[in-house]
Amino acid sequence: MAVIHHTTVTPTKLELLTTWLPTRPWYGGAADGPALTKAGGFRLDDPQGEVGIEFMVVTDASGPEPTDYLVPLTYRGAPLDGAEGALVGTMEHGVLGRRWAYDGCHDPVLVTQLLALVEGRAQAQDQNTSDAPDREVTRAYTGAGALSANGAGDLSGTGAGVLSAVVTTTPVDGREATELAAPHDTVLRLHRVLRPAADGRPLLPREAVGHVAGTWQPADGSRARGLFAVLHAATRT
């Protein structure tokens, strides 16, 4: 179980994202930087208790219309080997000391736990409270076969072969999403630009075999619900 420390973080997460977001191909705000507010999100536990995993939703008011972004982040006590290009920044945590914040799509621990959530083997946790499930995050999986061999967080032994399709594949950023290969000839698509469902029921693509949906608070103060991630069959060429 991840412990939420209510302490100071310098620079803040929003300050880190203000610098990092304009470098992303899916960023559509002002050229001189976003105007960010926190709009929601959730956490996942690392079974090893080493890596902080957070799915943060932020609203950018710098463009013609406010835009809601999903930013998966991991927090580590040491640099992640080979992930220099995925570093969002470093910060000083009042309890844990220096922390390295990464774009979570490049972190195998986050990807593994997100697949565990899709499959129903992990539980979304409240973003701000320790040991409190987030019941507003929903998931489903209708695919064939387990998404890992030995359970969530297994990155060694016989399970590593099953997970290799995920952890060795470079994520591909598009204009609205990030995609990476997943087991059983599927693709995991993380929605970066969030779209609220008109009736609160997210519309899944026909090829979807799994998904994660959640809620956030847009700039108008309403409560929105939409897709955070979709697992779908790979397109054959």
Per residue in 121-133, pLDDT tens? 999 999 988 889 9
Take residue 142 and report the two structure tokens written for it.
Answer: 């209708």
Give the residue, 213 or 8, on which the prediction is more confident: 213
pTM of the model: 0.89
Question: What's the rounded Cα separation, in Å, for the pair 152 and 117?
Answer: 9
Domain assignment present for 131: yes
Q: Please tell me the total count of domains within the chain.
A: 1
Domain assignment present for 1: no
Domain assignment present for 2: no
- E strand or H helix at 17, and its extent? helix 13-20
* Residue 164: pLDDT band with limits 50, 70, 90: very low
Domain assignment present for 146: yes
159-167 and 108-119 helices, crossing angle to 10°: 110
Domain assignment present for 113: yes
Kind of pairing between the strands at 186-191 and 177-182: antiparallel
Domain assignment present for 4: no
| Secondary structure of residue 22 in the 3-state scheme | helix
Question: What's the rounded Cα separation, in Å, for the pair 180 and 198?
Answer: 27
| Secondary structure of residue 31 in the 3-state scheme | coil
Q: Does the pLDDT value for residue 214 go beyond 80?
A: yes
Question: What's the rounded Cα separation, in Å, for the pair 234 and 190?
Answer: 14
Domain assignment present for 198: yes
Specify burial of residue 80 (Cβ count, 10 A radius: 0-12, 13-18, 19+): middle
| Residue given tokens 């083997």 in the structure block | 121
The boundaries of the domain holding residue 192 are 9-233
Say how many C-beta atoms besides its own lie within 10 A of residue 177's C-beta: 17
Domain assignment present for 199: yes
Confidence at residue 4, expressed as pLDDT on a 0 to 100 scale: 66
* Residue 210: pLDDT band with limits 50, 70, 90: very high
Say how many C-beta atoms besides its own lie within 10 A of residue 126's C-beta: 17
